[in-house]
Amino acid sequence: MFNGAIVAIVTPFKNGEVDEERYRELIEFQIENGTDGIVPCGTTGESATLSHEEHDRVVEICIDAVKKRVPVIAGTGSNSTREAIRLTKHAYEAGADAALMVTPYYNRPTPEGQYQHYKAVAEEVPIPIFPYNVPSRTGTNMLPETLARLSEISNIVGVKEATGDLKQISKVIDLCRDDFIVLSGDDFTVLPILEVGGKGVISVISNVAPADMAGMIDAYNAGDKTKARELHYKMRPLMDALFFETNPIPSKAALYLMGKIEYEVRLPLCKMSDVNFERLKKVVRDYGLIT
């Protein structure tokens, strides 16, 4: 159920508010192009600058728009365990299929603190939970041994791994229970992670090229590694371009160029520099997403 190309979807804004109409359109675009799941209120969804009310509403809109056609994995992470429990309860009660919870940031908990954080949420809310390990943003790394302990909790079903470290990811797959789902958190590592036993990706590039990311994973699973490799290298320039500046700024700029959303991000994020915007535009045009 939780595998393949899962999009970490942007949250479109208009005049500083959540643009529900365009958000629903983005969800339809994703489903029409083969995306296997949707993550609202992740990093790419600018969860850090959504109010609690907006966060809840964005999750609710996503669940309503998807209508069970693909899984919804709601972002519910926080550096406060109490807040993570509240967000996760809301997602569960709203009808989300799973929760994605970033490792507690800023506090820098010990491995034991990380374990107790996820254990507390899992005991309070009977929803499948994916820890999200992204040391570049949180300042802490969740070790494979910690994930192995967490994998013994029945509703902690997998992990989004964004370390970019194949040695660590291989160890996670080796130590955790057999049905534990490892998803890539970096588009550029999807293909190698599939090779070592991963099941898919929570993707940024899927915001703008969902059919290609879904097609790469489908081709790999069908045994057509040549096609999968071709799609990987086709997407590589776009993968680079979507990180010319901090995610999701370039993704929103690209979607704006494609005519899908307004070009708005929330402070402290800001629009791309003119130089990088022109670089991005060239990549998007060369890719065939705009004329």
Check: CB of residue 210 under 8 Å from CB of residue 33: yes
- Partners of 39 in the β-ladder: 8
Question: Which of left, alpha, beta for 196 (phi over 0: left; psi -120 to 50: alpha)?
Answer: alpha
Going from the C-alpha of 285 to that of each of 25, 229, 238, the distances in angstroms are 22, 22, 10
Burial (CB < 10 A; 0-12, 13-18, 19+), residue 257, is middle
Check: CB of residue 34 under 8 Å from CB of residue 62: no
Residues 260 and 23: their CA atoms lie apart, in Å, by: 9
Beta-carbon contacts of residue 29 (< 8 Å; ≥ 6 apart):
210, 260
What positions carry a catalytic annotation? 132, 160
